Structure 1
Amino acid sequence: MSTTSASPLKTSVKTTCPYCGVGCGIIATPDGDGGATVTGDAEHPANFGRVCVKGAALGETLGLSRRLLHPAVRGVRASWDRAIGEAARGLEETIRRHGPESVAFYLSGQLLTEDYYVANKLMKGFIGSANVDTNSRLCMASSVAGHKRAFGSDTVPNAYADLDLADLIVLTGSNAAWCHPVLHQRMQDARQRGARIVTIDPRRTATADDSDLHLPIAPGMDSVLFAALLVEISKSAVLAHDYMAAHTSGFEAALQRAREIAPDTETAARRCDIPLPDFRTFIDWWIATPRTITCYSQGVNQSAQGTDKVNAILNCHLATGRIGKTGSGPFSLTGQPNAMGGREVGGLANQLAAHMGFTDAEVDRVGRFWNAPRMAQREGLKAVDMFDAVGSGRIKALWIMCTNPAVSLPDADRVRRALAKLDLLIVSDANAAIDGILENAHVIMPAAAWSEKDGTVTNSERRITRQRPFRAPPGEAKPDWWMTCEVARRMGFGAAFDYAGPHEIFAEHAALSAFENNGTRDFDIGAQAGLDKQAYDAMAPFQWPMPAGAAAGAERLFADGNFFTPDRKARFIAIDAPGLKAAPSRERPLLLNTGRIRDQWHTMARTGLSQRLALHIAEPFVEIHPDDAGRYGVTDGGYASLRSDYGSVILKVVVTEGQKRGMAFAPIHWNDMTSGRARVGALAQGFYDPVSGQPEMKATPVAIEPAPVNSYAFFVTREPLDLPAWLVHAQLPVEGGTATLIANPRDPAGVHAYLSNFLPANGELLALEDTQSGTFRSIVMDGTSIAAVLFCAPQRETAFFEFMRARFARAVTDNAERLALLTGRDFDASADTSPVVCSCHGVRSSVIAGTIAAGASTVDAVGEACKAGTNCGSCKPEIRKLIETDHARQPALASADAA
């Protein structure tokens, strides 16, 4: 059994970005020294050469400082032979003593399709349990369930090309400007030619700023809005009577339920907390625009009623026949690079491979194809229930691949406690900085990372693309598919897992998709079933389905009105009455919404290594409306304690009118390896959708109050520091090391002495103390190099921090320069410390504001003057907002001058 080539590649390699579900094609050019430059692939149909700031910075994330490099068993470095043997024996012993249902796998949308395929094959076909689920359960399971209820299959009907052709683009629960930036730029191109964009989101996001209409909907009320739309469609001339009669069923029941939920637009607008004129404008635009595409993402999916929200959207498109047609349709934008690929191979506990389920016929079919000795007969445990079963002891052995549920799952502290109870925890990951998991792992297996992995991924438009390696795995790291197959071989299943490489896994996956299909299942890539390694290596991006004999994949589905239900008709769904599982109370008055920021990804295992990605937003934060800030006594730039029934965090406060009253927003990215007291997953409630199993991450009741901060400090050190959690802090990369920002909640007396214990013991210590002002500076020198810097003061010294961050990696050549550093004489206290807007070029907001004031009135003009927005374009929404803000100020200034 071979793995990928271990020889470093010297030429440019076409591969796929490992971040969001857009699936951008990129070109990686190794620099011969372990790094690479990354550019967009102009020939890839997902992005045509565009990349966002995260993709543009990929070459900066290839360092090995946080990599797992060697296998370990019970905390001791071990050979691969021993690690594989311990994993296989542990699984076999658990199955022998407690049965196959006592074993589970928890996978990730970061895995490649080939990794996913063999893990599912081992668990569902050979261990005999369906207890295999994925972190994609947290991002798109409600879309899967909604598709299956309506279409009979998990089918995304549209292509990105429809964004270019639509006349109305509706974004609901999607901050595409930050979470799918390349698609957002494509939408803005459509807007330039005349298309309208509507954003439905409680927050006024960068996406809303770039829209023609923003509907600040109340949390949980998405289905009320679309129920009202369905009612109004039923009264209009766009109701597609002939289409519905020929191709759908269930309309009357769905419409009756919609009328109960939204009896009239006034009631619906009031329930949604949307101004009635804007509510009516949206309905009028939607009804009047045949080419309407409705894009939805986590704001819809991550809900205890997510599946109903999806079906409320699908009902409107079915009622108008706006599906499978150019420029129109419902479009699920997935969050992870291979969430779709995982769905294709049965990565969810309620699926089998090739989009099959657990009917008797499908279980039999997959079992015969695999020649499986112990085929799972029923659905397994979905993510939240899986970890509940770990906590209760029903699951004794767990294999976690390429994800950290102790951070990302709701009620994350309970997940941590559950993991400590396992008889066997196997962890395969590339990252050594995964808190809450590695300390409990019995077997650790170092995995190949994005730049070393060989396989395929599928993006949001059903496009399968090769991910190709461009450097050798470091240390003893191996591909995930190899580890799974080796464990399977040790368990006695070697004949079924004897693959020469990922190309053979993909070919088998393709063959299964076509097995006894004959057009009865949506997922069919039978045209790829006979490919060899050469054809696999040369594979161009293609969309499925692509059955045997087809020269190309299908761009859209359902154009013929035929679906994948038994009678080939789509189903309208009568949704349940919407409502929150947990409402605000006097003790928990705010609803916490969680999400992503522009320049970071998941738990920052990769993006956290890039210096420029840390420039945009350096610290974990909570957004709150000014009225709520005043009500609860928190201030902009200060810190606040947030508490739910499950946990607590302390976050920096951002006061903004873009946040809806009664709500708060906090990003998901920071964990205990990069911060203190900032794991937002510890706050989130464990409620989930009863159909999809997807947890509610958008509406957790929380309390907020000011968090005392009695002094501030920062470190700049060569290695990350392991600081106590009571010190509110955030770590970010700098050239030559790590910077740590600290907000001290305790008595400032003695804090400098306490923090000094974290300075290196070796080296020359330079110290300057001003006890009267409470300001302390310490610099540890290692010859002419700075080994560490510690600064403490009653107030945060942003300018001095910026200076030391930029100065840290440069040599200090004489004593006068040392003294200047210690006293701060070399740094310019008036230096620009305004927020970085353009991470690619490091352009700060004050520079952009000055450019606008000097006459640059468009985004392009700003770019010509100061380069902002001229590389990846991810910052263009913020530049547009600065321009609009300046234009809004001018009449007021003119009036003031006249007065």
Structure 2
Amino acid sequence: MAETKSTCCYCGVGCGVVIEHEAGRITGVRGDPDHPANFGRLCTKGSTLHLSASPETLAARALHPELRARRTDARTRVSWDDALDTAADKFAAIIAEHGPDAVAIYGAGQLLTEDYYVFNKLMKGLIGSNNLDTNSRLCMSSAVAGYKLSLGADAPPCSYEDIRHTEALFISGSNTAFAHPIAFRRVEDARKANPDMKLVVIDPRRTDTAEAADLHLPLIPGTDIALYNAMLHVMLWEGWVNRDYIDAHTEGFDALKKIVREYTPAMAASICGLDKNAIEQAAQIFATSKATMSMYCQGLNQFSFGTHNNSALINLHLATGQIGRPGAGPFSLTGQPNAMGGREVGGLANLLSAHRDMANPAHRAEVAALWGVDSVPATPGKSAVELFKALKSGEVKAVWIACTNPAQSMPDQALIHDALKTAEFVIVQEAFGHTETCTYADLLLPATTWGEKDGTVTNSERAITRVRAAVSAPGEARHDWAIVVDFARRLGTRLGKGALAERMFSYASPEEIWNEHRESTRGRDLDITGMSYTMLEQAGPQQWPFPEGASAGKVRLYEDGVYPTPTGRARFVATEHRITAESPSAHYPLHLNTGRLRDQWHGMSRTGLVARLYSHESEPLLHMHQDDMERRRLADGDLVKVKSRRGEVVLKIQQSATVRPGQCFVPMHWGGNTMGGQGVNVLMPSDFDPTSKQPELKHAAVQVEKYTAGKSLVLMRRSEADADGNLQPNPLAVMDRLRQWLPHFPYASLTLAGRNSPVVMLKARGEELAPELIEALDREIALDDPTRVLSYQDSRKDVAKRALVEGDSLTAVRLAGETKAADWLADMMVQGHSAAAVRQWLLAPLTQPPAGQAARGKVICNCFDVAEDDILAAFRAGESLDGLQARTKCGTNCGSCVPELKRLRQSVSN
């Protein structure tokens, strides 16, 4: 067995991993003990990365270039030459007729820095348009704009090291325990080492992060600016501002002071739905602690005023001098593994390489000289929402989508799907061929992914890490940068720029690309001219800036109080409270908040391949307060229709104490590949921040009503390892076959269950369950042979059951009409030793599980498969948390479940 060091491909914490591989296959993964981001720790997602690269996952991979001549035709396999020639012909023809702004590229924060760089150079240098944007627009652009507006550059001033030095940590708009679990492990360690450290969490929901807080401020969604202005009001009143720092290192304070005089704690309390005493307490903790640090993420960014949300929080740091020293400063937690690297190379429609300003002629000239072109365009390109609106209107004719899934992740999904249908030509460059966006690909280009790629990424704390390939790419998949380079040369010939394209894209390796990017940073705030691939391989990750001649990168920025602004001073930004893009009304009375699950990531194109990652929350659920449920006569497990001004979805509902009355919550991961309709984001508005262009993906106004139409249907198919260790049937192939039937149902949930013998489960409700539909679905899970299956049907009681039992295992099940035993049956299938009990149940008119038998409930500890019901039973019997962990090992591996274990223990104690 061989080992290769690389990085995790999920969130922006940037954990180092050691990939174990043998005979060209990835066999395991563990945390890299030498990596400064995680020191060997991994969360549930990172520790199961090898399972996302198992042989079964080839069923979900894009393996060969595929092309279709007309939108109604199926795609057919073509050679790489034919694929890229077709792409170059299409782009060249559109550019010749309509100009360079008629084409666009939409990329991702999952691309490596080298991939990002050549995409940017292709669009802005060779084609001559700034129409290059990425999904980082959806998560980080307000953080970028906030840093630039307040501090002068997109440069997070803090490091993970500061967590252990802080005396007061404010986590705002982030469920860090779920979204950045390894960063939260550092918070837990810091509090253990310093019991006097204060944790304040600002979040509408009482998340696991909030449960751990000394003070939780459950504000109404979108009222952050009012809160921060009121906190500054208190600081001014009490004399807690640092006038020396303000006078020496900032500007604009007097204008802000005039505004915040109006934001009394009482006024803010009425806006935010908070106790004014809690606002005053938060202000005191922030201002009077020896070192105060803030960490924040989408809860600040994803609003139509996200830039000012960021700046309002940074204002507090500047006013109190809580910046530029150990344990103090505003720290934006990056959402994606290389959103930071993309920002460094100018990978958004309004950015240029190395933090240069597109509006600055000198900066544009520097980039043009570096690339060897006459000029780069001055007008910002179309940001994400603008781009897809332009696709729908026909202003943009062709789009190249790389390593992202806008047909799941963008807001206002109806608009996105219409845009992709309307577009003249859609290229999708993707590792996974089953994503919602791949459905619209006129040309599908197979790309490499985690474990196969070579290059660099930059994490939240500005640390650049080498990414190394452990195995070769499957099929004909190619590296993203190599695809772009090959295409650029072909396009250059067609545009009459053949010689130029050959010079611009002469790269033979990712290191050559990175060296050019490195040179572009010389003299800039993110100067990395002192780094090299060799250094990163020998010395490990390095933080920027790291100029030539330096011995190390900077752990924290602005220690000297000098900022990269024209005056050298940080800027106070005058921020006023604004209402969200949508406010609740009589017709849409509820706030809907979106967020993340612990064990899933983004659109689930990778985590959705791993059965055990569904066990914590197994399907899309609407979380709602008991009062709102009682008002609508709803109970746990009921189906509800959730409707916004743009669309609707049908989900199961779950009573939750994490949300306040008048609010509800749904995770953002679920799209049209895993549920009925176009996914959760069909509900969300496309309104965006005028500065950052980041859409308001965090909040919508909705109505919720019980859904009772039609009849229920459940199908399940179990897989088991054969003699060679391969799962038969391939569960991902079964999911793919069932996926085509999702549009037939207003409510549908297509997921996996189990661990070693996964079960594919489709839960659905249809207006009518036509016999031909049920027969077709039976064929998909091998229930179509009447000589092999057990059947029971009672039309009078609306019970129809069919099952396949092989040996002592229940292999496949279909329930129609009445489906109350579905979860119990799934558990029986996962355990694989249930034939006798199930036979008896199947051949009887029972709909409920047998007496005394029920499903296990959700799994809290994924590492050791420990379920919630077992944990609660142990606590009720008097077992301590230490005792539980010693007996079951829960929470002793990755630690992701520790906050929930503590919450469950507390719930029993109360």
How many angstroms does 1:828 deviate by? 9.4
Query: Is it true that 1:34 corresponds to 2:42 in the alignment?
Result: no
Summarize deviations over 1:102-139 as a string: whole Å, max 9, x none: 11100101111110010001111111111100101111
Aligned to 1:555: 555
- Asked if the contact 1:777/1:792 (under 8 Å) is kept, the reply is yes
Query: Is it true that 1:881 corresponds to 2:882 in the alignment?
Result: no
Unaligned residue ranges in structure 1 (runs of 5+)? 1-9, 889-899
- Asked if the contact 1:851/1:866 (under 8 Å) is kept, the reply is no
Unaligned residue ranges in structure 2 (runs of 5+)? 69-74, 492-497, 719-728
How many angstroms does 1:290 deviate by? 2.5
Aligned to 1:506: 514
Aligned to 1:430: 431
Summarize deviations over 1:145-188 as a string: whole Å, max 9, x none: 01111111111000001111111111110000100111111111
How many angstroms does 1:606 deviate by? 0.7
Q: State which drifts further: 799-808 or 420-429.
A: 799-808
What percent identity do the matched residue pairs reach? Answer: 40
Q: State which drifts further: 366-375 or 825-834.
A: 825-834
Helix, strand or coil at the partner of 2:153: coil
Question: Structure 1 CA distance, aligned partners of 2:655 and 2:752?
Answer: 26
Instruction: Find the partner of 2:61 among 49, 61, 67.
Output: 67
Question: Structure 1 CA distance, aligned partners of 2:544 and 2:344?
Answer: 10
How many angstroms does 1:783 deviate by? 9.9
Aligned to 1:243: 245
Aligned to 1:729: 748
Question: Structure 1 CA distance, aligned partners of 2:634 and 2:767?
Answer: 18
Aligned to 1:843: 866
TM normalised by structure 2 equals 0.91
Instruction: Find the partner of 2:767 among 731, 734, 746.
Output: 746
Question: Structure 1 CA distance, aligned partners of 2:278 and 2:834?
Answer: 59
Aligned to 1:797: 821
Helix, strand or coil at the partner of 1:730: strand
Letter in 2 for 1:833: R
Aligned to 1:197: 199
- Asked if the contact 2:716/2:826 (under 8 Å) is kept, the reply is no
Query: Is it true that 1:834 corresponds to 2:857 in the alignment?
Result: yes
Letter in 2 for 1:202: P
Question: Structure 1 CA distance, aligned partners of 2:438 and 2:641?
Answer: 28
Alpha carbons of 1:535 and 1:201: their partners in 2 closer, same or farther (altered >3 Å)? closer
Question: Structure 2 CA distance, aligned partners of 1:595 and 1:288?
Answer: 32
Aligned to 1:402: 403
Question: Structure 1 CA distance, aligned partners of 2:397 and 2:168?
Answer: 51
Question: Structure 2 CA distance, aligned partners of 1:870 and 1:761?
Answer: 42
Letter in 2 for 1:527: G
How many angstroms does 1:752 deviate by? 5.6
Question: Structure 2 CA distance, aligned partners of 1:33 and 1:463?
Answer: 30
Aligned to 1:893: none
Helix, strand or coil at the partner of 1:367: helix
Structure 1 segment 151-190 matched on structure 2, within 5 A: 151-190=151-190
Query: Is it true that 1:767 corresponds to 2:790 in the alignment?
Result: yes
Helix, strand or coil at the partner of 2:357: coil
How many angstroms does 1:711 deviate by? 3.3
How many angstroms does 1:279 deviate by? 2.0
Q: State which drifts further: 732-741 or 91-100.
A: 732-741
- Asked if the contact 2:749/2:764 (under 8 Å) is kept, the reply is no
TM normalised by structure 1 equals 0.92
Aligned to 2:615: 615
- Asked if the contact 2:223/2:577 (under 8 Å) is kept, the reply is no
Question: Structure 2 CA distance, aligned partners of 1:761 and 1:854?
Answer: 44
Q: State which drifts further: 342-351 or 276-285.
A: 276-285
- Asked if the contact 1:650/1:678 (under 8 Å) is kept, the reply is no
Helix, strand or coil at the partner of 1:666: strand
Summarize deviations over 1:593-642 as a string: whole Å, max 9, x none: 11111100111111111121111111101111111112233222111101
Question: Structure 2 CA distance, aligned partners of 1:791 and 1:37?
Answer: 37
Helix, strand or coil at the partner of 1:235: helix
- Asked if the contact 1:136/1:339 (under 8 Å) is kept, the reply is yes
Query: Is it true that 1:20 corresponds to 2:14 in the alignment?
Result: no
How many angstroms does 1:558 deviate by? 0.3
Helix, strand or coil at the partner of 1:690: coil
- Asked if the contact 1:126/1:374 (under 8 Å) is kept, the reply is no
Summarize deviations over 1:391-416 as a string: whole Å, max 9, x none: 11111111000111111111011111
Question: Structure 1 CA distance, aligned partners of 2:624 and 2:633?
Answer: 11
Question: Structure 2 CA distance, aligned partners of 1:34 and 1:787?
Answer: 28
How many angstroms does 1:779 deviate by? 3.0
Aligned to 2:724: none
Aligned to 2:113: 113
Helix, strand or coil at the partner of 1:378: coil
- Asked if the contact 1:590/1:664 (under 8 Å) is kept, the reply is yes
Question: Structure 2 CA distance, aligned partners of 1:861 and 1:168?
Answer: 31
How many angstroms does 1:697 deviate by? 1.5
How many angstroms does 1:746 deviate by? 3.5
Aligned to 2:419: 418
Letter in 2 for 1:115: D
Structure 1 segment 477-488 matched on structure 2, within 5 A: 477-488=477-488
Aligned to 1:776: 800
- Asked if the contact 2:145/2:691 (under 8 Å) is kept, the reply is yes
Question: Structure 1 CA distance, aligned partners of 2:650 and 2:338?
Answer: 33
Summarize deviations over 1:67-116 as a string: whole Å, max 9, x none: 00000121111001111111112111111111111111001011111100
Structure 1 segment 649-728 matched on structure 2, within 5 A: 649-677=649-677, 679-708=679-708, 710-716=711-717, 718=729, 719-720=734-735, 721=738, 722-727=740-745, 728=747
Helix, strand or coil at the partner of 2:487: helix
Question: Structure 2 CA distance, aligned partners of 1:828 and 1:538?
Answer: 62
Summarize deviations over 1:412-466 as a string: whole Å, max 9, x none: 111110111222211100011112x323222110000111111111111111111
How many angstroms does 1:646 deviate by? 0.8
Letter in 1 for 2:228: F
Aligned to 1:4: none
Helix, strand or coil at the partner of 1:452: coil
How many angstroms does 1:664 deviate by? 1.3
Question: Structure 1 CA distance, aligned partners of 2:871 and 2:665?
Answer: 27
Query: Is it true that 1:496 corresponds to 2:487 in the alignment?
Result: no
Note the aligned Cα RMSD (angstroms): 2.4
Question: Structure 1 CA distance, aligned partners of 2:273 and 2:173?
Answer: 16
Aligned to 2:72: none
- Asked if the contact 1:670/1:678 (under 8 Å) is kept, the reply is no
Question: Structure 2 CA distance, aligned partners of 1:87 and 1:539?
Answer: 41
Structure 1 segment 209-608 matched on structure 2, within 5 A: 209-260=211-262, 262=263, 264-358=264-358, 359-435=360-436, 437-491=437-491, 492=498, 493-514=501-522, 517=523, 521-528=524-531, 531=532, 537-538=537-538, 540-608=540-608
- Asked if the contact 2:343/2:355 (under 8 Å) is kept, the reply is yes
Question: Structure 2 CA distance, aligned partners of 1:817 and 1:289?
Answer: 62
Helix, strand or coil at the partner of 2:261: helix
Query: Is it true that 1:48 corresponds to 2:39 in the alignment?
Result: yes
Question: Structure 1 CA distance, aligned partners of 2:51 and 2:780?
Answer: 27
- Asked if the contact 2:465/2:536 (under 8 Å) is kept, the reply is no
Helix, strand or coil at the partner of 1:573: coil
Aligned to 1:861: 883
Q: State which drifts further: 137-146 or 667-676.
A: 667-676
Q: How many pairs were matched up?
A: 863
Question: Structure 2 CA distance, aligned partners of 1:419 and 1:827?
Answer: 49
Question: Structure 2 CA distance, aligned partners of 1:712 and 1:761?
Answer: 14
- Asked if the contact 1:651/1:678 (under 8 Å) is kept, the reply is no
Question: Structure 2 CA distance, aligned partners of 1:821 and 1:33?
Answer: 46
- Asked if the contact 1:169/1:196 (under 8 Å) is kept, the reply is yes
Question: Structure 2 CA distance, aligned partners of 1:669 and 1:58?
Answer: 18
Summarize deviations over 1:828-884 as a string: whole Å, max 9, x none: 9625522211111110112212322343333x3321122111111101111001111
Question: Structure 2 CA distance, aligned partners of 1:564 and 1:592?
Answer: 38
Alpha carbons of 1:222 and 1:577: their partners in 2 closer, same or farther (altered >3 Å)? closer
Helix, strand or coil at the partner of 2:169: strand
How many angstroms does 1:801 deviate by? 2.2
Letter in 1 for 2:388: F
